[in-house]
């Protein structure tokens, strides 16, 4: 494969051809075949060129619509996305062939038929499979289910449920002929403004790791792969391609790496995606510490690592670091790798190792194993899973005077807010799904037998249509259109509706995604004046008529609530619940589903209270003329602007900060209301001395009027003689089964030395300090219901890990 043709005189030519083709035929028969022969034999039979081609993907087909408003010939995605066509016809033909598989997939690896190596198709993630919904060759549709966003799934605190979502998603991956889905995303919510927080789970690494492991196990149970991403410390979109994240080893180990560790150890994802950013001076994809010492040597990761799309700059360094596959990949990269081997800059053994890791996954792929995919996943069943998961992850933030659930006899609902009519199912960018339909809030109401005021609806639809027409089109549709400002609602209309309707709903919507962070401004983190006015007017007019007002938050990340939450009677945090949004919301409002979601990230009183505020998104550094020129040519989201962010907030992220530093918040980590109540009793610890393990159990009783489920959270406060520690940390959690009124359940948890330990940088080990440990069982991080304690007589050195990822500069770290 990929060899040049030669010429000569006729007879010798014929002879040569005969001999050559016989030899080739013989070689073909002799050549080992993947699947039949051991992987090392395949690697041994590969040419250097073939190896180099395999470790680089086959590029990316960028839909023409992306370029619409740009000068011809420009490629706003940058050099990594160049096609390098025409240099090697055989290679080009191979690329053309593999690119036919699953249009809209984000990438494909090379195929090498002589060795039986098939292509591997990878597609986004993480809220569902992302492929083109339509194809040129037929009129069929290739829709995928838009599942609820990751943040909502984490708010379920229900690993069994998330596993079911994963398995439904896996069904679509398999049946559409994709081998690996590019998800789940599992970076921490370090700062509420990160534009991709919706793709991530939580501010806490335990819940992140457990939910991700459930998702990976669910998806992979279908025989397809996952790629947990973006490894690691990719907690912002501003300058995501180049920002140097300066972070302590302790914060890395305890927070930013911990979720990934749990997912690797508990679910063995087939692949890991390295992140765009640098960590302590090195690109994640070029960091041997990150990809080899930590990921493989410390945690035992068995799959392969791929770059994020166009991540890093040096293919040779990436190979050496253990970044096995470069995506989307191009021919320049493979040529550079080949050259580096020839010139002795890259040991071929390193390349062999990377190739072997890729092939070990290729042989698991459904495509390799000849799976006859149907292009007909069970969309109906999967929509049901999405609907149920969505309502289980909604968080009831406020419910005064039992405004919810809707009382019997309630029929007529006054509906306000643009987003009620045009619901946001999920975020933008690669995390967006091409679903076949979405259920808006008003449709959800109708589906459940409620009526709305048609005139109000018409006013909203007309307003939004006009606003959309007058709006500037986004250059890249993929990155999402700017929001339409909330309509100024005529107070006479509100008064009239307060007379005639039974209840009011106002939906507040927010959207964001890849390539940009949100802003701590009105209309984004804060409600706009228009929105606040709407909430105030509707609430007071309805209250005057003795009727209730409910605010629905259709958002992908945390917003400010403290300045307006007093007005409505209820606030339901619906997140972005996927294609069944309207149905799922109404399931909760009507009481069909009793809300049981709890916050997996804190809602602070104000953005000013966020611990990373002075270190987000960091600073930009001077650029060379050459860098400036390069950056001019590409999309802002693909620019490589020298920049730095220092994680001075260190281990004090989210509730670890607010609780330790006693900063009041609007709604704390773990918070969420129910239509029923729960009583906690009988906390039992297996001993008052820790000897290798500790069993903790507690009884939870539904003491309220309706059936419901409770998320039970176990927090641990550790002694802090040697190392400073957060006031307490989540060490375990569980969700009760559906408890009928009066019913109770005993929940048991096991604490291991690891749960007691903190990371001691000096010894590069996890250490549990001797002293008293307080166990607190709560309905949230602040609502502690039962507490006890035990002693650890002597310090335990739980595990020593590799010294890795040391920062090269001082960090003025926050500590109590």
- Contact, 242 vs 279, CB < 8 A? no
Span 408-447, contacts to ligand BGC by CB under 6 A: 430
State how far the Cα of 728 lies from the Cα of 602, in Å rounded to an integer: 15
Q: Quote the radius of gyration of the chain (alpha carbons, Å).
A: 28
Least distance in Å: CB of 126 to ligand BGC? 8
Indicate the residue among 154 and 452 with the shorter CB distance to ligand BGC: 154
Least distance in Å: CB of 80 to ligand BGC? 11
State how far the Cα of 667 lies from the Cα of 613, in Å rounded to an integer: 19
Cα diameter, the chain: 102
DSSP result, 761-778: TTTTEEEEPSEEEEEEEE
Least distance in Å: CB of 246 to ligand BGC? 21
Contacts of 21 (CB under 8 A, 6+ apart): none
State how far the Cα of 314 lies from the Cα of 285, in Å rounded to an integer: 9
Binding residues for ligand BGC, rule CB under 6 A, total: 8
Least distance in Å: CB of 45 to ligand BGC? 31
Least distance in Å: CB of 447 to ligand BGC? 33
Q: How far apart are the first and last CA of the chain?
A: 63
Span 126-185, contacts to ligand BGC by CB under 6 A: 182
Q: Tokens at residue 657, please?
A: 């900060």
Span 610-629, contacts to ligand BGC by CB under 6 A: none
Indicate the residue among 229 and 331 with the shorter CB distance to ligand BGC: 229
Least distance in Å: CB of 55 to ligand BGC? 18
Q: Would strands 243-246 and 278-279 be described as parallel, antiparallel, or unpaired?
A: parallel
- Contact, 115 vs 31, CB < 8 A? yes
Least distance in Å: CB of 182 to ligand BGC? 4
Span 280-319, contacts to ligand BGC by CB under 6 A: 308-309
Least distance in Å: CB of 515 to ligand BGC? 8
- Contact, 658 vs 665, CB < 8 A? yes
Indicate the residue among 81 and 759 with the shorter CB distance to ligand BGC: 81
Least distance in Å: CB of 514 to ligand BGC? 6
Least distance in Å: CB of 481 to ligand BGC? 19
Site string for ligand BGC, 507-526 (x = CB under 6 A): -------x------------
State how far the Cα of 279 lies from the Cα of 288, in Å rounded to an integer: 11
User: ∠ CA 346-349-355 to the nearest 5 degrees?
Assistant: 100
State how far the Cα of 540 lies from the Cα of 234, in Å rounded to an integer: 43
Provide the 8-state DSSP code for 8.
-
- Residue 84 burial (CB < 10 Å; 0-12/13-18/19+)? middle
- Contact, 349 vs 382, CB < 8 A? no
Indicate the residue among 184 and 708 with the shorter CB distance to ligand BGC: 184
Contacts of 755 (CB under 8 A, 6+ apart): 716, 731, 732
User: b vs e for 333-352, b when ≥16 Cβ sit within 10 Å of the residue's Cβ?
Assistant: bbbbbbebbeeeebeeebbe
Span 182-201, contacts to ligand BGC by CB under 6 A: 182
Least distance in Å: CB of 806 to ligand BGC? 26
Indicate the residue among 180 and 660 with the shorter CB distance to ligand BGC: 180
Indicate the residue among 124 and 587 with the shorter CB distance to ligand BGC: 124
In 36-187, which residue ranges form alpha helices assigned H by DSSP?
Answer: 39-45, 48-54, 89-98, 150-156, 159-175
- Contact, 754 vs 694, CB < 8 A? no
Q: Would strands 412-416 and 503-509 be described as parallel, antiparallel, or unpaired?
A: parallel
Indicate the residue among 78 and 670 with the shorter CB distance to ligand BGC: 78
User: Could you say whether residue 106 binds ligand BGC (CB under 6 A)?
Assistant: yes
DSSP result, 193-255: T-TTGGGS--SSHHHHHHHHHHHHHHHHTTT-EEEEEEETT----TTTTTEEEE--HHHIIII
Which are the catalytic amino acids? 308
Q: Torsions phi, psi of 572, nearest 5?
A: -110, 120
- Residue 452 burial (CB < 10 Å; 0-12/13-18/19+)? buried
Q: Tokens at residue 526, please?
A: 């804060």
Indicate the residue among 198 and 460 with the shorter CB distance to ligand BGC: 198
Least distance in Å: CB of 198 to ligand BGC? 12
Q: Tokens at residue 814, please?
A: 């926050």
Indicate the residue among 428 and 713 with the shorter CB distance to ligand BGC: 428
Span 795-814, contacts to ligand BGC by CB under 6 A: none
Beta strands in 494-608 (DSSP E): 503-509, 548-554, 570-573, 603-604
Indicate the residue among 212 and 550 with the shorter CB distance to ligand BGC: 212
State how far the Cα of 93 lies from the Cα of 724, in Å rounded to an integer: 60
Indicate the residue among 241 and 702 with the shorter CB distance to ligand BGC: 241
- Inter-axis angle of helices 491-500 and 529-544, to 10 degrees? 40
State how far the Cα of 450 lies from the Cα of 595, in Å rounded to an integer: 20
Q: Torsions phi, psi of 660, nearest 5?
A: -70, -40
Indicate the residue among 50 and 124 with the shorter CB distance to ligand BGC: 124
- The region, left, alpha or beta by phi > 0 then psi within -120 to 50, assigned to residue 322 is left
CB atoms inside a 10 Å sphere around CB 206: 18
Indicate the residue among 31 and 62 with the shorter CB distance to ligand BGC: 62
Q: Tokens at residue 328, please?
A: 């989307």
Least distance in Å: CB of 772 to ligand BGC? 44
Interface residues with ligand BGC (CB under 6 A)?
A: 106, 124, 182, 229, 308-309, 430, 514
């Amino acid at each position: 494969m990929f060899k040049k043709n030669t010429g000569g005189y006729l007879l010798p030519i014929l002879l040569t051809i005969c001999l050559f083709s016989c030899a080739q035929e013989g070689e073909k028969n002799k050549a080992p075949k993947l699947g039949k022969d051991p992987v090392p034999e395949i690697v041994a039979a590969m040419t250097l060129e073939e190896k180099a081609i395999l470790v680089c993907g086959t590029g990316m087909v960028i839909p023409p619509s992306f370029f619409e408003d740009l000068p011809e010939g420009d490629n706003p995605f940058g050099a990594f996305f160049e096609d390098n066509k025409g240099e090697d016809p055989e290679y080009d033909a191979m690329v053309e062939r593999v690119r036919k598989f699953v249009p809209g997939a984000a990438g494909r690896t090379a195929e090498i038929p002589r060795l039986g190596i098939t292509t591997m198709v990878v597609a986004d993630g993480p809220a569902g499979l992302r492929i083109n919904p339509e194809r040129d060759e037929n009129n069929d549709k290739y829709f995928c289910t838009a599942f609820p966003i990751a943040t909502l799934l984490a708010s379920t605190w229900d690993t069994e449920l998330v596993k079911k979502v994963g398995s439904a998603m896996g069904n679509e991956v398999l049946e559409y002929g994709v081998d690996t889905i590019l998800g789940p995303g599992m970076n921490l919510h370090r700062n509420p403004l990160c534009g991709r927080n919706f793709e991530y789970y939580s501010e806490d690494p335990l819940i992140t790791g457990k939910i991700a492991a459930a998702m990976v196990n669910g998806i992979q149970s279908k025989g397809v792969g996952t790629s947990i991403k973006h490894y690691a410390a990719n907690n912002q979109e501003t300058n995501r391609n180049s920002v140097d994240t300066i972070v302590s080893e302790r914060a890395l180990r305890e927070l930013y790496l911990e979720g990934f560790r749990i997912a690797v150890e508990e679910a063995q994802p087939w692949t890991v995606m390295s992140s765009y950013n640098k960590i302590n001076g090195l690109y994640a994809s070029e960091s041997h510490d990150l990809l080899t010492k930590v990921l493989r040597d410390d945690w035992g990761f068995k799959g392969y690592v791929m770059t994020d799309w166009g991540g890093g700059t040096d293919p040779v360094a990436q190979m050496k670091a253990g970044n096995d596959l470069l995506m989307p990949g191009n021919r320049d990269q493979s040529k550079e790798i080949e050259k580096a081997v020839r010139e002795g800059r890259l040991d071929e053994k390193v390349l062999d190792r990377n190739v072997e890791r890729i092939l070990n996954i290729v042989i698991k792929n459904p495509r390799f194993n000849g799976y006859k995919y149907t292009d007909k996943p069970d969309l109906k069943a999967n929509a049901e899973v999405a609907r149920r998961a969505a309502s289980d992850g909604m968080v009831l933030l406020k419910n005064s005077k039992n405004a919810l659930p809707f009382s019997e006899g309630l029929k007529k609902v006054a509906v306000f807010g643009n987003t009620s009519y045009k619901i946001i199912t999920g975020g933008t960018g690669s995390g967006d799904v091409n679903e076949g339909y979405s259920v808006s809030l008003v449709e959800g109401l109708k589906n459940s037998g409620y009526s709305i005021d048609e005139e109000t609806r018409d006013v909203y639809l007309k307003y939004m249509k006009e606003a959309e027409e007058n709006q500037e089109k986004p250059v890249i549709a993929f990155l999402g259109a700017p929001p339409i400002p909330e309509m100024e609602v005529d107070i006479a209309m509100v008064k009239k509706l307060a007379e005639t309707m039974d209840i009011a709903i106002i939906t507040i919507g927010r959207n964001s995604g890849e390539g940009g962070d949100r802003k701590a401004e009105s209309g984004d983190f804060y409600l706009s004046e228009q929105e606040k006015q709407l909430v105030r007017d509707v609430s007071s007019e309805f209250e005057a008529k003795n009727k209730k007002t409910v605010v629905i938050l259709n958002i992908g990340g945390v917003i400010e609530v403290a300045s307006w939450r007093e007005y409505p009677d209820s606030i339901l945090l619906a997140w972005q619940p996927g294609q069944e949004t309207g149905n799922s919301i109404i399931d909760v409002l009507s009481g069909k589903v009793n809300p049981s979601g709890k916050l997996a990230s804190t809602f602070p009183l104000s953005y000013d209270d966020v611990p990373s505020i002075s270190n987000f998104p960091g600073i930009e550094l001077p650029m060379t003329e050459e860098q400036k020129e390069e950056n001019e040519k590409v999309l802002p989201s693909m620019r490589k602007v020298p920049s730095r962010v220092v994680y001075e907030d260190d281990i004090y992220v989210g509730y670890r900060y607010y609780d330790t530093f006693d900063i009041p918040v609007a709604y704390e980590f773990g918070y969420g209301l129910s239509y029923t109540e729960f009583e906690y009793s009988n906390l039992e610890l297996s001993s008052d001395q820790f000897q290798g393990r500790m069993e903790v159990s507690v009884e939870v009783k539904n003491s309220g009027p309706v059936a419901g489920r409770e998320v039970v959270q176990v927090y641990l406060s550790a002694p802090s003689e040697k190392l400073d520690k957060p006031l307490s940390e989540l060490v375990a959690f569980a969700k009760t089964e559906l408890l009928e009124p009066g019913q109770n359940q005993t929940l048991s948890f096991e604490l291991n030395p690891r749960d007691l330990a903190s990371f001691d940088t000096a010894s590069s080990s996890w250490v549990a300090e001797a002293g008293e440990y307080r166990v607190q069982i709560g309905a949230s991080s602040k609502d502690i219901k039962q507490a006890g304690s035990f002693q650890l007589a002597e310090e335990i050195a739980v595990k020593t890990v590799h010294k890795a990822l040391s920062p090269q500069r001082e960090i003025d770290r926050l500590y109590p």
